[in-house]
Structure 1
């Protein structure tokens, strides 16, 4: 169970301090513990003594997992726990409203049992935290970083209680991994700036039920007002991610359930029959955020703290977990060779090795948003031809599928 701030020993020492106990932070902690490092994890959210059903990191949304992410979660001993609750994506269907072009991808075409999976965030979070508790990893909740004194061999990290800010303690760490989310407040304490590109869009997320079973098909539907994704959950349930401008999103939030289901039917088409029910609807603004520095001596940013992207291609967590796996491989190799993993030169080399994957994944999401948002009739025809062409040109379709499945960067995996 999560420990309270009062249980943290003054001036304790660890190899790695992980700031943030979300999906990225907890995965990193589990991986490092398997490598034999002394790890401490903290989170600003005050976790209950039992495994919570809700935290800001593990909310009612769902996450798309690529096949490559499944392989990484298997290495972290998490996959077996969540497998009963995941839904396999056996097909992906991409279309644009008002156009005849479509792209279909089937798992069997690529020799896989699934193109990916969809998992409720709460389920993944409970599994990760269960493993953290099972391994008795030091984890303190309701704690934030208030100041960082950087040193040659250790950083002195000043921690304070969220409930009683006057209570402060110092923890010495060789390496601090910052994984506390988009535009990290901890990174900003170090003067790390962020590049932010706002999309002038919001995403509405909800779970919906349809008259017909989804049969493991994930739908990506591009409309003039923004993309709409329906990810398969249980037989007739789907996780909806619907992108619009803020005004349209607010109008959809203000609708009755019946009105909202009707509006969704009109945009999605009737591939799954009428929309019969919808759950709670929530929204959040969309933006592309990248840290101007992803590392310093003894400091590394991972996950949304390093890069946060548009959800249109469902690749945010998949990119992040590949970064975690690559980091674990870097630490493993450094420890085996007796190298200093906290020094700036090797950390910077590691970060540079991740740039190609980051740039390609971010470009995929960014360009999908911008191309399908353009109302030009010429572009409309090009998109239509493009969807048909992608469906019929096997090599191009394979490249697209491999990136979506997280198989284009297999070297990101680690061994334990």
Structure 2
């Protein structure tokens, strides 16, 4: 079972860093200038080690064309995705919102395309379809159109020299809704896995306002006297249709279908920095439907944050502290808010390396179990920087996904 949450998109009937980028949340200027890297070389030679992209090797591929591949060879079936898998929505092209590509980072050679320019996240439905939010070329925080993807694979030129990304790829995608906010949530009928309600959340003045199914009638409003005093995070929808939210001062909140609010006793002390992701699971001991949520413990501007998991038992409404997630690998310097929980409650998170001597960095996808599990974190996929290789992605035998600054994680809502 999955908690129906979307931050940036929702379900059903419903670049590696390139030349000059201002990365505001790092407050640094990044420089590189390549179209391929060590990870690309390993894709060409058939290397399947999921950690192979994490090495900062300096080997480069010279010459060569895509004549060793075909569209069928590299296609990932976008209509039969696994809701339990955490996918990476990356890009072939640095510094742009187009040429996006979805991969399973543990089996990255298969590619799911195609997306229009301006995609902002997505989710996998229980039936394996992919839903995404589209903002157009000018991304804003006012929301966008929600589509269900119809796959348009890459094509290879007749001379076998160059891949072509589909033109107007969303022309055949089903438009589901025009979203008022990038925070979108759905309620499934658990017996039929069909969408019952669609929720949208938006900050209006100092209040967090939630709409259901349309943009004209507010479903619920969380009144706040000061948005900097108490921040409300939208986390998901439970199987009975209750909205799950987190308040930085009080903890978890449930709003039932009668619009009655219940604040739950929380472990720890405020303020709580919830991350807008969550996952429904069945407790192996009690058999109760439960929810995992993620919190960040900010340790200061120059100190890495700690990341913590809570569990909510939806039968007893008891909130438990599951402890911290494992520390990141040594190569990782900065972790981002781009994160998802998998079906086992493990945290998947996009992160970055320290800047090197030439002010370049590498993007990583890190898998982090809880410390209580006794397992260590690991780099699953990365953009391995290779300054000697300038071949365009379209000339690679097997194009590969870059995380870069626009990478997103996609899984069941």
Tell me the TM-score normalised to structure 1 length: 0.24
Normalized against structure 2, the TM-score is what? 0.24
Q: Which has the higher strand share?
A: 2
- The one of the two structures with greater contact order (alpha-carbon pairs below 8 A, sep at least 6) is 2
Answer 1 or 2: which has greater helix percent: 1
